[in-house]
Structure 1
């Protein structure tokens, strides 16, 4: 018998409260096949890490981040090991002011605590106080700054061959010219096709792939030195500099900030 995160009617039906939420803590990995629903979904992590498959991209959801999935958007979900997180489902008619495309955001303590409160509600029409909290969640989502946590996939078979090889061994430091020779494509063509099909240069795509993998490994509690070596960095400092430049903090401080006990009061 399937284990539901939340009552199915609170996901599929336009009836009932316009916002419903639930929390989930699990000790083992979990995967959900591609699906969609009429309500928009904001999916967040408190500890551990999940990835969301959306169109031709994989989006990583590390701790204290969330992914907004608009109504009717097909997606799949996978968690990595022990995980604690939450989901908010918002009725389609209330999604008009919200982003029309999937979006990754960094969640503020106010949003996380409002969701925590909403997750205790019984799934019936909201009273006045509950409606105010639900409105806070929607307002926080609408105002949240977009984060870059997705990795687009190319379609050209030659590029796919390269990205698949890189994904299986991110420590491979071959230059673009070497990858082009390996895949049987001219370097200039490879460079141009990467930008056209992913919106990123080859170097940017590889850095993004390494960053998302780093977030997974940080969530698993691996030492920074181990992560740096697995991702092909010559030294730990170079990895930490990249992480700080993109995420705005060091891997160690990021892991500490992901502590779910960092709560606001509402």
Structure 2
């Protein structure tokens, strides 16, 4: 398949397909909004304000202009819908959504002709159907907002670097030079989550990334800070509706 330079495309909406054995892009920003669908593998997207992990049959909305980087530890197959902001219903912020089988097939078909299609005809109508379906896709709880306060960000960075550490908020706050009470208040104010909820979501997203890379459930459970596998599986199922084994089946 020919490589498409998105900056040179005149069409308002088009789809490109890619496969990477591993992926680690530099920090960059796009002028178009992107709807990045993962058909195989797990994609991780980071900005200075948050983290999004995209497993198979999910997609991430990436708004234009924001610096971000994407990575995948193992092979990943993605199909990306690129669009001018006025051509698609753009969400208010970056988010992950579940993708129905119909959209999967339509994106696959649209990737076959890419940006090379007439303004009127079956290809344009196929694109229109995709655009019409996008607002109907359900959001998935696969993102994490970073705090902005530098003191609280020190706590977040410590947990990101070592998700298995078991320190309580009092200890982590003391190292960051802030009281536990202030830290607890700021976590809720800046992320919408309590400290405990934030750490659990971080562990879940890191676990998803590592499970998608083929690491065993047992190893991942201990790597992200659980003392027993059954507790990890219970949290995973409560958050995502399936056990890890069924989620990646």
After TM superposition, is the score higher than 0.5?
yes
Distance 1:230 1:101 in 2: 30
2:52 aligns with one of 55, 59, 78: 59
Query: Does residue 113 in structure 1 map to residue 105 in structure 2?
Result: yes
Displacement after TM superposition at 1:119 (Å): 0.4
Match in the other structure for 2:69: 76
Distance 1:142 1:203 in 2: 32
Displacement after TM superposition at 1:33 (Å): 2.3
CA deviations on 1:25-69 (whole Å, 9 max, x unpaired) are 1213331422121x3210011222222234511222222111112
CA contact (8 A) 1:20 1:118 kept: yes
Query: Does residue 142 in structure 1 map to residue 135 in structure 2?
Result: yes
2:161 aligns with one of 168, 171, 176: 168
Distance 2:239 2:77 in 1: 24
Distance 2:139 2:4 in 1: 29
Q: Please give the secondary structure, in 1, of the residue aligned with 2:132.
A: helix
- What are structure 2's unaligned runs of at least 5 residues? none
Matches within 5 A, 1:1-266: 6-8=3-5, 11-12=6-7, 15-16=10-11, 18-37=12-31, 39-54=32-47, 56-95=49-88, 97-121=89-113, 123-256=116-249
Q: Please give the secondary structure, in 2, of the residue aligned with 1:101.
A: coil
Distance 1:110 1:240 in 2: 30
CA contact (8 A) 2:29 2:64 kept: no
TM-score (norm 1): 0.85
Q: Please give the secondary structure, in 2, of the residue aligned with 1:119.
A: helix
Change (3 A) 1:199 1:77: same
Distance 2:20 2:82 in 1: 20
CA deviations on 1:11-33 (whole Å, 9 max, x unpaired) are 335733x3211111121333142
Distance 2:117 2:233 in 1: 47
CA contact (8 A) 1:43 1:87 kept: yes
TM-score (norm 2): 0.90
Displacement after TM superposition at 1:73 (Å): 4.3
- What are structure 1's unaligned runs of at least 5 residues? 257-266
Change (3 A) 1:14 1:21: closer
Distance 2:2 2:169 in 1: 44
Displacement after TM superposition at 1:127 (Å): 4.5
For the aligned residues, what is the CA RMSD? 2.1
Displacement after TM superposition at 1:203 (Å): 0.5
